[in-house]
């Protein structure tokens, strides 16, 4: 029964790859996956320089962080035509795919705040199209909140409005279960997307660091099986127990689990998108010893080895 169910899920994923969009993360006929990294941990350098560092290091793709105040914020750092041209030039120079924009969109209970948020989503979609008009990247975000049962209906109703914006503007969104937020498991995301009618423009970000080291065991095998049919983006980083807390680490930096297992299970299930290294703010923020160049190199070296161990070619 288990094999049969997995075969059904895998077939469903492959059938759904055509037209998924969002940076062609699940493009029909794509036979390989890519290795990416986000600019979240590269805030100490101008965005074009960060892009060049990522390209020089050897990555295939890049995610740009567009939070308020970050180097990719379209309302400040990338507000001018000149700054956007510089980013496009750096992408062209390096040949990197722009696979995603990392946003911070949290469903708001207050109507005024909610409707003020919709133009921001539209702004991100327009930025995605402007930076990469031939293949705009998806937008990924966590949803915040604290308690799932108290938040899930608000999430459903607010994201339904987001979906209208995505449909009107032809954008793509990927929502991320986060261990510190209300939506914290793949099962939560399955419920939410089902309530929304399984929209083609909204899928899920998978990141095992948010499921590991829980009191009730959430294995790679089980979480991938649940997430596979609704996943269009995979983030990778490590996590380790420090006292009674969980602390994030660079991908491949700990021995808590084997990142190649995540790669193999997604690739074996038909996923042909990018695996994006995330450098958590726990690592770089307020840390005088943090070296962004070294962190970028470490991410690349560790994940390149994981790809090799998993037997997956990159593109």
pLDDT, position 31: 83
The distance of Cα 100 from the centroid of its chain, to the nearest Å, equals 7
pTM of the complete model: 0.92
Q: Which residue has the higher pLDDT, 23 or 143?
A: 143
User: What are the domain boundaries of the chain?
Assistant: 2-310
Q: What is the DSSP string of 157-203?
A: HHHHHHHHHHHHHT--EEE---TTSS--SHHHHHHHHHHTT--TTEE
pLDDT, position 30: 65
172: tokens are 């793509």
CA distance 224 to 262: 8
Averaged pLDDT of the chain: 92
pLDDT in tens, 64-121: 999 999 999 999 999 999 999 999 999 999 999 999 999 999 999 999 999 999 999 9
pLDDT in tens, 145-160: 999 999 999 999 999 9
Q: Which CATH topology does 2-310 take?
A: TIM Barrel (3.20.20)
Looking at the predicted structure, is the pLDDT value of residue 15 above 70?
no
pLDDT in tens, 239-273: 999 999 999 999 999 999 999 999 999 999 999 99
């Amino acid at each position: 029964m288990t094999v049969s169910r997995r075969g059904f899920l895998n077939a469903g994923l492959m059938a759904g790859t055509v037209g998924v969009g969002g940076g062609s993360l699940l493009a029909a006929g794509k036979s390989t996956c890519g290795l990416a990294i986000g600019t979240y941990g590269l805030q100490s350098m101008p965005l074009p320089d960060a892009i060049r560092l990522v390209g020089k290091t050897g990555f295939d793709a890049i995610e740009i962080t567009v939070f308020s105040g970050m180097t990719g914020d379209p309302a400040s750092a990338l507000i001018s035509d000149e700054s956007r041209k510089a980013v496009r030039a750096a992408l062209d120079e390096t040949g990197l795919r722009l696979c995603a924009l990392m946003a911070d969109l949290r469903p708001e209970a207050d109507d005024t705040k909610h409707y003020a948020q919709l133009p921001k989503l539209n702004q991100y979609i327009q930025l995605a199209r402007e930076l990469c008009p031939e293949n705009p990247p998806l937008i990924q975000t966590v949803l915040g909140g604290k308690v799932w049962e108290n938040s899930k209906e608000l999430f459903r109703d607010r994201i339904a409005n987001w979906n209208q914006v995505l449909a009107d503007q032809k954008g793509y969104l990927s929502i991320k279960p986060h261990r510190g937020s209300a939506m914290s498991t793949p099962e939560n995301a399955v419920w939410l997307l089902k309530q929304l009618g399984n929209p083609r423009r909204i899928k899920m970000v998978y990141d095992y660091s948010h499921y590991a080291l829980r009191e009730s065991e959430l294995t790679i095998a089980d979480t991938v099986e649940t997430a596979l049919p609704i996943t269009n983006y995979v983030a990778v980083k490590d996590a380790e127990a420090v006292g009674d807390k969980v602390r994030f680490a660079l991908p491949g930096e700990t021995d808590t689990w084997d990142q190649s297992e995540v790669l193999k299970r997604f690739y074996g299930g038909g996923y042909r998108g990018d695996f994006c290294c995330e450098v958590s703010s726990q690592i770089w923020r307020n840390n005088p010893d943090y070296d962004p160049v070294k962190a970028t190199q470490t991410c690349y070296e560790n994940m390149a080895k994981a790809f090799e161990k998993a037997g997956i070619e990159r593109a």
